[in-house]
Structures are given as C-alpha cells and as structure tokens.
Amino acid sequence: MTVLEMFSYAFMQRALVAGIFTALSCAALGCFLVLRRFAMIGDGLAHVGFAAVALSLVLGLAPLTLALPLVMLLSLWILKLGEKTTLYGETAVGLVSSLAMAAGVLLAGSGGGFNIDLSGYLFGSILAIKESELILSVILSAGVVLVIKLFYYDLFSLTYDEEFARVSGVKTGRIEKLLILLTALTVVLGIRVVGALLISSLIIFPAVTALQLSKGFRATILIAMACGVFSVTAGITASFWLELSTGATIVIVNFLLFIAAFAYSRIKS
C-alpha cells in the first residue's frame, strides 16, 4: 500500500489533520516554555487532563467539554500557587499533577465500563479521532498559533528577560497567564494525539531540536513547527505500516530528529 492509498481512508485523513494542527501549537508554545525552564508544565497539566477526562466519563459528558475549562482553571491555580507560596514553579506542578493522576486512577477504578475509553486518552488514540474532535482541534490549535503571533513580542520579552519586559511596559503577569492558558489548551488537545503520558514530549522535543539548529528565535519557532509536523506525519505513517502505537511512534520520531540535530550541531561546532 502506498502513502497516497493509506491516506485515502477518512480516519487517516482525520488523524493527519488533527495531528498536524496539534503539533504546530505544541511546537510553537514549546519554544517559550523550554526557554523559561517551565517545560514540564505540559506533563503536569496532562495529568490534570487525565483526571478531568475520567470525571467526564463518570458523569456521562463529552470528555473535552469538561477537560478544557477544568485544566485551564487549574493551570491558573498552579501559577498562583507558585507565586503566593514558598513553592517553586516545578514543585507546584508536581503537587497538583500527582494529586490529579491519583484522582484519575481512583475514578478509573470505580468507573467500570469506561476504562477502555479512558485508556485512549492515557496512551493516545489519534486514529480513532472523531470528526467533531477534529474540528475542535483545528479551530483551537489555529487559535493558539494566532494568539502567539499577536502577542509575539510580549511573549518574547517575557521569555528572555522578565525584568526588562516589566520595565519596558509589558504586563508580565497577564502575559504569563496567557502563556499558561495556551499551554493548558494545547495539552488537552494533544492528549488525544499522543496521550496524557506522552504529551510533554510533543511540546519539548521539537523545541530542543530546533534550538540545536538555529540561534534566531523566529527561526527556532519555525524549525520546531516543521519538526513537529514531520514527526506526526512520519509517526502516523510508520505506525500504520508496522502496526505500532501511534502516539509512541510519534515520540520516537521526535527523539530521532533530536539526536540527528544534536549530532549535527556537535559536528558543526
């Protein structure tokens, strides 16, 4: 079967489009998060998303209906927890994420028949994505990229020098909240693509790969987005042919890209 024949199936087309749009938003956000040393927020929010999906299934609601607002709300709480207490950012993330994962496991254990559905959000099930989920992923991912473009200079200033940004008149508190909300939104969308256990890799790997290849920030974002799209396309194709887990295959492709970029940067230097 050729690649064109493979993508003639409707479910493969949905997977490819949803994966590409999610990869674009994850990669763009990842560049800001990695440089702010806040990359693991994606992993923490993914655990929160897992608990929210479990609660949605218990209540008989559409998973993303409850997961989106709940994860966004808790992302702000994590940010405030780090600001108002003596806890560092990564400590606040660890506390909330471990509690959320425990809650998700308890809900899964008491849920009976929905455990199979929940496993799709834990490990990813992009090939089973529905048309309604596809439309939501495209709209929200495009919205994330558009907001990054509109607030690019403020996000750039906050990322490289928060004190300078504050002096320059950038409302750093609002921009940081915007960044964390965009991350929460992207994480929830990515859970369906690679699963709650692997979503942070979709944020981190394209960014660190691009950082090996470029010193300019705009170029870094563009390279990261290209790496994200390539990893999703290659991962879906390889997983279909080799009958492997799609989410895990996407992550492996991302890792191989990083190894290649790291080796290239070493040879070049």
Q: List, for residues 189-207, the tens digit of each pLDDT value.
A: 888 777 777 788 888 999 9
Q: Answer whether residue 137 is part of any domain.
A: yes
Q: Can you tell me the distance from the alpha carbon of 17 to that of 147, in angstroms, rounded to the nearest whole number?
A: 20
Angle formed at CA 32 by CA 230 and CA 14, multiple of 5 degrees: 35
Where does the pLDDT of residue 253 fall: very low under 50, low under 70, confident under 90, or very high at 90 and above?
A: very high
pLDDT band at 120 (very low <50, low <70, confident <90, very high): low
- CA atoms of 49 and 228, how far apart (whole Å): 21
- pLDDT at residue 88 greater than cutoff 60: no
Tokens standing for residue 251: 């992550």
Residue 266 tokens read as 């070493």
pLDDT at 89 over 60: no
Based on the structure, what is the number of domains in the chain? 1
Domain that holds residue 177: 3-261
Tell me the angle at which helices 131-150 and 172-194 cross, rounded to the nearest 10 degrees.
150
How far is residue 210's CA from residue 188's CA, in Å, rounded to a whole number?
A: 24
Q: Which of 122, 141, 33, 35 has the alpha carbon at shortest distance from 79? A: 33
- Residues 164-191, mean pLDDT to the nearest whole number: 84
Q: What is the CATH number of the domain that holds 69?
A: 1.10.3470.10
The Cα 132–Cα 167 span in angstroms is 44
Give the model's confidence band at 257: pLDDT under 50 very low, under 70 low, under 90 confident, else very high.
Answer: very high
Look up residue 7 and give its DSSP letter.
Answer: T
Q: Residue 266 domain-assigned?
A: no
* Cβ count within 10 A of residue 85: 10
- The pTM (predicted TM-score) of the whole model is 0.85
Does residue 268 lie within any of the structural domains?
no
Instruction: List, in order, residues 6 or more apart from 119 with CB less than 8 Å away.
Output: none
